[in-house]
Amino acid sequence: MKEKFVIDLVTDEEFMGYFMVKQIALKVGSNRKTYLDITLGDNTGEISGKKWDVSDEEYASLSRYSVGDVIKVQARVTEWNGMQQLRISKIRMTGAEDGIDLRDYIKAAPEDPEEMFAYIRERAGEINDSGLRQLCLMNLDDNKEKLLYYPAASKNHHAERSGLLWHIKRMLMSGIALCDVYTFLDKDWVVTGVILHDIEKLTEIESDKNGISEGYSFEGMMLGHIVQGVKLLEKQMEELGFDYEKKIMVEHMILAHHNEPDYGSPKRPLFPEAQLLHHLDDMDAKMYDMEDALKSTRPGEFSDRVWTLHNRRLYKMKDGE
């Protein structure tokens, strides 16, 4: 039975507990000794850990562990650079006798995937331009099975079951609302951009049905979802008979959504709907990371450092009196 969750860990305490392996690697330190570099997690969060001086015997058993396994550890909670970390002393595999309930370990988006999919599909169905509508519906319907569980990242923002749908849904809600503020925007293009911008995350990232990712596919490593997306959509748009300008504009939206070369976009957005798509994407990722970091922070205290937010430590407001 799981008693200790990541959110309950207190610095300096020594404890025993069950966690799911999120990432695992055996590495060699500067002292030439082998150590285990591991990320453990449950449905309340993740924490990285180290086990130093791994013996040859241990090496053989540890190399059989993989992402998604639930293990039992004995460890001390240390703090390094403002982040909690585990110093693991004992580690073992679990079995049926440990009474593992997978729901304790899997992080998932807060809404029902079928409902999120239905919301997104409805917005796609409302696109006036028939080519854009067809393109969106086709990609949603062809990928429905994967979309229902896929995470939007292997780490960081929306790295959870159905995280990609959650990301698309909230971006759509924000984007549609902003079309009422910036009335010169063409909603068809905003909706299309949101629905398609990360569609190739489905092949960039590898994920099991619990939304747990072991990392990137070969294509994902070498090309990434932006280039993969442009390639995929170009083919589809040719088949659908898109005219030249429309085809290039859709490709540009995908290409420019990360806004700068350092983040994978070779071009900055060159029309307003593409610019808005970038802001929606960026805003949703940051809001997600903030909400997530504060979930494991006590009122009146600062969070751990958040790597994706320039290593900031966020403050959680005290409860109102």
Which residue stretches of 241-271 are H helix?
A: 244-256
Closest CA to 29 of 59, 47, 54: 54
- Closest approach of Fe ion to the CB of residue 25, in Å: 26
Residue placing its CB nearer to Fe ion in the complex, 273 or 281: 281
Contacting Fe ion (CB under 5 A), which of 160, 188, 198, 273?
198
Closest CA to 86 of 147, 146, 4: 4
Q: What are phi and psi of 158, to 5 degrees?
A: 60, 30
CB-based contacts of 257-260 (< 8 A; 24+ apart in sequence): 257/193, 257/197, 257/226, 257/281, 258/226
Q: Which residues ranging from 129 to 188 are in contact with Fe ion (CB under 5 A)?
A: none
Name the amino acid, one letter, at 33. Answer: K
- Closest approach of Fe ion to the CB of residue 204, in Å: 9
Place of tokens 């460890």: 75
- Closest approach of Fe ion to the CB of residue 102, in Å: 27
Contact stretch for Fe ion (CB under 5 A) within 69-77, 104-112, 196-204, 208-216 = 196-204
Determine, following the binding rule CB under 5 A, whether residue 281 of this chain makes contact with Fe ion.
yes
| Site size for Fe ion (CB under 5 A) | 2
> Are the CB atoms for 117 and 174 separated by under 8 Å?
no
Residue placing its CB nearer to Fe ion in the complex, 70 or 168: 168
- Written as six digits, the tokens of 160 are 């959870």
Residue placing its CB nearer to Fe ion in the complex, 54 or 205: 205
Question: In sequence order, what E strands does 29-131 have?
Answer: 34-42, 45-51, 70-80, 83-93
Contact stretch for Fe ion (CB under 5 A) within 187-195, 197-205, 206-214, 265-273 = 197-205
Contact stretch for Fe ion (CB under 5 A) within 17-25, 235-243, 277-285, 295-303 = 277-285
- Closest approach of Fe ion to the CB of residue 124, in Å: 17
Residue placing its CB nearer to Fe ion in the complex, 46 or 198: 198
- Closest approach of Fe ion to the CB of residue 46, in Å: 20
Contact stretch for Fe ion (CB under 5 A) within 28-36, 67-75, 202-210, 281-289 = 281-289
**Given its phi and psi angles, is residue 233 left (phi above 0), alpha (psi -120 to 50 degrees) or beta?**
alpha
Residue placing its CB nearer to Fe ion in the complex, 42 or 289: 289
- Closest approach of Fe ion to the CB of residue 70, in Å: 30
- Closest approach of Fe ion to the CB of residue 147, in Å: 14
Residue placing its CB nearer to Fe ion in the complex, 36 or 255: 255
- The β-bridge relationship of strands 34-42 and 45-51 is antiparallel
Q: What are phi and psi of 216, to 5 degrees?
A: -105, 155
Q: Which residues bind Fe ion (CB under 5 A)?
A: 198, 281
